[in-house]
Chain A
Amino acid sequence: MFTVKESRFLPMPFHSLLLFVVWLLLNNTMAFGHILLALFFGWSIPKLVSILKHGHPTIKRPWLTVRYFFMVMKDIITANIEVALMVLGPLKKLQPGFAAIPLDITSDLGVTLLASTISLTPGTVSAEISEDRKWLYVHALHLDNADELIAQVKQRYEIPLKEILGC
């Protein structure tokens, strides 16, 4: 098990990495000076803003995160082809529907990631969350069986996300 420790030198390591990558992408270069500048920004900006945030989401399983990312990418492509066929196909066969998914994830980041993944992948859009954060309302473009959809979402996305965030 790998946990990211809260250190004083790098208070938000993932944000630092993201800032580093985004700076290099924005300037579209790998020049030495820009790498130095990116390192400086990646170190200084999180240090300046870390006082402002409360609640520290940690990533418990980094390799599972990478696997989850590629699985979602693959699902996005297959879901897109499905949705494209449904959009172009006959409207008479279309059976849209609402479903309420019971949530086990409790953290803010977990719910946000799950809702975004659901919106991007299997022909569903997440629409609303109940105030007690126990139910996520989704709209599916083609809903055969609500229980099947709920089971699929829980098994495919929620369990890995729970493991990644450790909550």
Chain B
Amino acid sequence: MATWLEGLIALVLIIGGVFLLIGSIGLVRLPDLYTRLHGPTKATTLGMAGLLLASSVVSSITQGSISVHEWLITLFLLITAPVSANMIAKTAMHHDLTPWKRTKGQELVDPASRQAPPSDHHSVKDGKLP
């Protein structure tokens, strides 16, 4: 393997690893569930893409033929990461999890948990599931 190619792969690997770590740091550091969702959905997806790119190039070189099946995992994660984030956020809203005190637009949580339009947030205040 040429030195420049090896260096490039190493760089991509380390960038991917750093993004994975940043996603997990966000999970620990951020103040409430809604902000914590951002770390894993975004940083982790990009980190995985970097790692799988490196893996694809390495196995292409060692096998002598182009290996692209790693992209299947990337594709799968790109499709599923927003769906699972959405489901977790939905669950949190339906369970009336209170957001961080500095969050703007907190009055939207109540209509969102009833799947109502944002205008009638003062009509029903019990916040129970319909």
Contacts and interface: CB of A to CB of B under 8 A. Distances in A.
A96 B37 contact: no
Interface string B73-84: 000001101110
Given A28-B69, A137-B108, A116 B79 contact: yes
Contacts of A88: 22, 25
B11 to A, nearest CB: 15
| Chain B interface residue bracket vs A | 35 or more
A94 B23 CA distance: 16
20 contacts: A25-B71, A76-B45, A83-B39, A84-B19, A84-B22, A91-B30, A96-B103, A97-B104, A98-B105, A98-B108, A100-B108, A115-B82, A116-B83, A120-B81, A125-B38, A127-B90, A128-B89, A130-B115, A132-B117, A139-B34
A131 B46 CA distance: 32
The size bracket of the interface on A is 35 or more
B35 A130 contact: no
Contact of A83 (B43, B102, B116): B43
A33 B92 CA distance: 49
A51 B79 CA distance: 25
Interface string A106-126: 000000000111111001011
Contacts of A94: 30-31, 35, 102
A25 B68 contact: yes
A30 to B, nearest CB: 8
Interface in A80-111: 80, 83-84, 87-88, 91, 94-100
Interface in B93-130: 93, 99-100, 102-106, 108-109, 111-113, 115-118
B106 A83 contact: no
Shortest Cβ-Cβ A-B pairs, 3 listed:
A97-B104, A119-B82, A127-B89
Nearest to B22: A84
A141 B100 CA distance: 11
A79 B115 contact: no
A120 B41 contact: yes
Interface of A: 22, 25-28, 76-77, 79-80, 83-84, 87-88, 91, 94-100, 115-120, 123, 125-132, 134-135, 137, 139, 141, 143, 146
A18 B46 CA distance: 23
A83 B109 CA distance: 23
B26 interface: yes
Given A80-B46, A98-B106, A115-B86, A137 B39 contact: no
